[in-house]
């Protein structure tokens, strides 16, 4: 009976780790896409931040306390998202993610 309980607990942990990796991958893709859009010459910071916030909320179920930042510098653009993630199912621990991307700006000749 104890072995069955340990096996079930390991299965729950494995499932939560797999779902956490999928959530982080979705957040990384959203942040990278926002950073690439922000690197374009006609990008508007407010619009990109709103779009990134919507993308994170839509693609990462369980994300709370979402904070997004987009900064457009002279040579690079920076997109960053920070959020707490509560896994579906039995929650062992909430995780905190910080994802960022910094591509080089695209400047027309």
Greater confidence (34 vs 9) lies with: 34
Q: Which of 99, 102, 32 lies closest to 73 in space, CA to CA?
A: 102
The predicted pLDDT at position 55 comes to: 93
Token pair 């997109």: residue: 79
Do residues 56 and 83 make contact, with C-beta atoms less than 8 angstroms apart?
Answer: yes
Asked whether the predicted pLDDT for residue 74 surpasses 90, the reply is no
Widest pairwise Cα distance in the chain: 70
d(CA 103, CA 30): 14
**pLDDT cut 90: percent of the chain above it:** 49
Domain ranges within the chain, ordered by starting residue: 2-101
Q: Which of 103, 59, 57 lies closest to 79 in space, CA to CA?
A: 103
The predicted pLDDT at position 13 comes to: 84
Query: What's the average model confidence in pLDDT over 69-92?
Result: 86
The predicted pLDDT at position 33 comes to: 94
The predicted pLDDT at position 105 comes to: 78
Q: Give the pLDDT confidence of 84-94 residue by residue, as tens digits.
A: 988 777 667 77
d(CA 78, CA 50): 15
Order of strands, edge to edge, in the sheet holding 63-72? 63-72, 77-85, 95-101
**CATH fold label, 2-101:** 3.30.1300
């Amino acid at each position: 009976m104890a072995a069955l309980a340990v096996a079930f607990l390991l299965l729950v942990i494995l499932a939560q780790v797999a779902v956490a990796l999928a959530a982080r991958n979705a957040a990384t893709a959203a942040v990278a896409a926002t950073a690439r859009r922000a690197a374009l010459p006609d990008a508007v910071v407010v619009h990109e931040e709103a779009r990134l916030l919507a993308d994170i909320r839509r693609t990462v179920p369980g994300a709370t306390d979402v904070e997004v930042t987009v900064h457009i510098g002279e040579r690079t653009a920076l997109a960053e998202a920070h959020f707490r993630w509560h896994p579906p199912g039995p929650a062992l621990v909430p995780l905190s993610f910080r994802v960022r991307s910094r591509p080089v700006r695209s400047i027309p000749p």
